[in-house]
Chain A
Amino acid sequence: MLNKINSNKYFDEMQLQIRNKVGNQCFFILFYLLLFDMFLGEHGVQWAGSPMSKFVIMMLTMVYYLVRIVWAGAYASAFTQRKENVYPLVGLLSAMVITAGLLLIIIKTNFFKESFSISPGGILRLFIFYFVFIMIIVVSSKISKRRNDKGDD
């Protein structure tokens, strides 16, 4: 009965507390950075294109969030068994295959041809993006789990 009463399915109470705290900080960082970017835009300072500046700010905030929770050992669950760990990876790989298949269908047929076109290089970039994304998740999990094991016994 005692087991898991102080946690949700994936994280214990300290991990949840860290994630919530860092998440709140990141929300406010994102809010103020976007506000500042808007302020700069209003005053004629363009440090990047309009969608790109928002993307860079979101990426920076996400990287900050990731680094903070990995550093605190709150990224990966200590409860997750090896078998359960496989499912997200399988899901991502399935998403990769499905997306690539859909793109191939779009390119090979005349579907959406009038609206936009996708170059074969775009598919390669998408694959690289997915690969890097999966690698980030795997490496972060490993680092976080290693940090979970640190400390005196």
Chain B
Amino acid sequence: MGKNLRLKSARAAKDISQKELAETVGVTRQTINAIESGDFNPSIRLCIAICRTLNKTLDQIFWEDDGNAE
């Protein structure tokens, strides 16, 4: 599983830190870091929570293609 650069860029675009995003969706900062690094595969509920917070769709953040996965 590659790095999730779309999540990182969407978060940066909204000027939200990992800690703020983590607190909003109810996980630890380490979990958000692991998702961005591609070390952890989140549940669909967590994906939806992240997408809602960032005002993005699941496709925009989590659908893997050549442009997303590093």
List A residues at the B interface (Cβ < 8 Å).
2-7, 12-15, 17, 73, 78-79, 147-153
Contact = CB atoms under 8 A, between A and B. Distances in A.
B28 A12 contact: yes
Contacts, number: 69
B65 to A, nearest CB: 23
Please classify the interface of chain B as helix (H, G, I), strand (E, B), loop, or mixed, using the class held by over half of its residues.
Answer: helix
B42 interface: yes
B25 interface: yes
B27 interface: yes
Contact of B40 (A3, A5, A14, A79): A14
B46 interface: yes
B2 to A, nearest CB: 16
Contact of A153 (B19, B27, B28): B19
